[in-house]
């Protein structure tokens, strides 16, 4: 999806992601991380221009977020998750 989305992401897309990213990693919490993760992946999927890929990524994200809710009790874990995506 990233390969397809390259060149299609706009400055507004990056501003949207920046607005969801806390300046201080210590400010991460489960809702913030979940919004950022979902927005990032769905934005890339949408910009890929492939509706089937978008649908599948959205479906997988729904499943992943169920697991994240059980694991997101650790701030260190959340910080690593965000770092992997930045």
Rounded CA separation 20/49 (Å): 23
Rounded CA separation 15/1 (Å): 20
Give the pLDDT confidence score for residue 73 in this predicted structure: 62
Give the pLDDT confidence score for residue 69 in this predicted structure: 67
Cα 2 off chain centre by: 12
Helix spans in 21-85 (H): 30-47, 51-71, 75-84
Which of the residues in the chain have pLDDT under 50?
none
Give the pLDDT confidence score for residue 64 in this predicted structure: 82
Give the pLDDT confidence score for residue 78 in this predicted structure: 73
Give the residue carrying structure tokens 């169920």. 66
């Amino acid at each position: 999806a990233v390969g397809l989305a390259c060149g299609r992401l706009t400055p507004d897309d990056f501003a949207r992601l920046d607005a969801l990213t806390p300046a201080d990693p210590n400010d991460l919490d489960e809702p913030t991380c979940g919004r950022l993760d979902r927005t990032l992946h769905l934005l890339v999927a949408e910009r890929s221009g492939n509706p089937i890929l978008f649908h599948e990524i959205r479906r997988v994200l729904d499943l992943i977020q169920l697991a994240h809710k059980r694991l997101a009790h650790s701030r260190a874990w959340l910080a690593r998750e965000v770092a992997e995506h930045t």
